[in-house]
Amino acid sequence: MTTQQLDATTQQNVDTWLSGPYDAEAKATIQHLIDSGNTTELTDSFYRSLEFGTGGLRGVIGVGSNRMNRYTVGAATQGFANYLNKSFAGQDISVAIAHDSRRMSPEFARIAADIFSANNIKVYLFSDLRPTPELSFAIRQLGCQGGVVVTASHNPPEYNGYKVYWNDGSQVVAPHDKNIVDEVSAIQSVSDIKFEGVESKIKLIDEEIDAPYIERVKSNAVNPGVIARQADLNIVYTPIHGTGITLVPRALEALGFKNVSVVEAQAKPDGNFPTVKSPNPEEKAAMQMALDQAQYQNADLIIATDPDADRVGAGARNHHGDFELLNGNQMASLIIYYLLRAWKDAGKLTSKEFVAKTIVTTDLIDKLCEQYGVTCYNTLTGFKYIAQVIRELEGKEQFIGGGEESYGYLIGDFVRDKDAIASCTMIAELTADAKDKGLSLFDLLMEMYQQTGFYYEALVSLTKKGKAGAEEIQQMMADFRANPPKTIAGSPVVRVDDYDALTRLDMASGKTSAIESGKLGIESSNVLQIFTADGTKVSARPSGTEPKIKFYVSVNEPLPNKEAFDDTYAALKTKVQKVVDELNLK
Show which residues are catalytic. Answer: 153
Do residues 113 and 204 make contact, with C-beta atoms less than 8 angstroms apart?
Answer: no
Q: Are strands 537-542 and 548-557 parallel, antiparallel or unpaired?
A: antiparallel
How many CA atoms are closer than 13 Å to the CA of 191, on its beta-carbon side?
4
Which residues fall within 8 angstroms of residue 272, CB to CB, at 6 or more apart? 103, 157, 241
Question: Cα–Cα distance between 552 and 540 in angstroms, integer?
Answer: 7
Residue 274, classed as helix, strand or coil, is coil
How many CA atoms are closer than 13 Å to the CA of 4, on its beta-carbon side?
0
Do residues 226 and 429 make contact, with C-beta atoms less than 8 angstroms apart?
Answer: yes
Do residues 464 and 472 make contact, with C-beta atoms less than 8 angstroms apart?
Answer: yes
Do residues 407 and 312 make contact, with C-beta atoms less than 8 angstroms apart?
Answer: yes
Residue 228, classed as helix, strand or coil, is helix
User: 3-state SS of 376-435?
Assistant: EEEECCCHHHHHHHHHHHCCCCEEEEEEECCCEEEECCCCCCCCHHHHHHHHHHHHHHHH
Q: Helices 420-436 & 328-345, crossing angle to 10 degrees?
A: 70
Question: Cα–Cα distance between 375 and 369 in angstroms, integer?
Answer: 6
